[in-house]
Amino acid sequence: YYNNILKGIYGAVPKLVEKIHFDEEHPENQNIKLTNKKEPYIKIRKNNKWKLVNRKTEILDLIDSKCFLLRQKYENLLKKNHNLTEEQQDKIDSFIEDYDKDNKVLLDGLLNKTEMMLLNNSK
């Protein structure tokens, strides 16, 4: 799964959030909802209760955790026999470098794509 998702690294974060937090087979992970695009809040489930939290802060934390996970999976794939081409590896390395440098265009794109995915999947 990670080998395939890393091949499209610039769309990988929202796809990973969707896979983890909106998978019908894992209701225990369904702990985030964005139901109103106009409000600055998002619902997070903690201790079996839904709480409103700052939308931007929470989504940026979510993006950060998924980028960290993708980086770990990428490093593990590089140690093993993988089928990523040099071009795909260069693209992933470029993504990681831009993310580490807090590239505003990259972060804004990740934030927008992740918000859209959350809006489209929240019930």
Residue 80: its pLDDT value, please?
Answer: 87
**CA neighbor of 30 nearest in space, from 18, 15, 47, 42:** 18
Per-residue pLDDT of the chain (123 residues; tens, 9 = 90+): 898 999 999 999 999 999 999 999 998 899 999 988 899 999 999 999 999 999 999 999 999 999 999 999 999 999 987 788 999 999 999 999 999 999 999 999 999 999 999 999 997
Q: Read off the tokens for 109.
A: 């794109």
pTM: 0.90
Q: Are 21 and 29 in contact (CB under 8 A)?
A: yes
CA distances from 100 to 33, 45, 71, 79, 117 (A): 27, 29, 11, 22, 23
Q: At CB < 8 A and 24+ separation, what contacts does 50-59 make?
A: 55/115, 56/111, 58/32, 59/111, 59/114, 59/115, 59/118
Give me 48's structure tokens: 């079996």
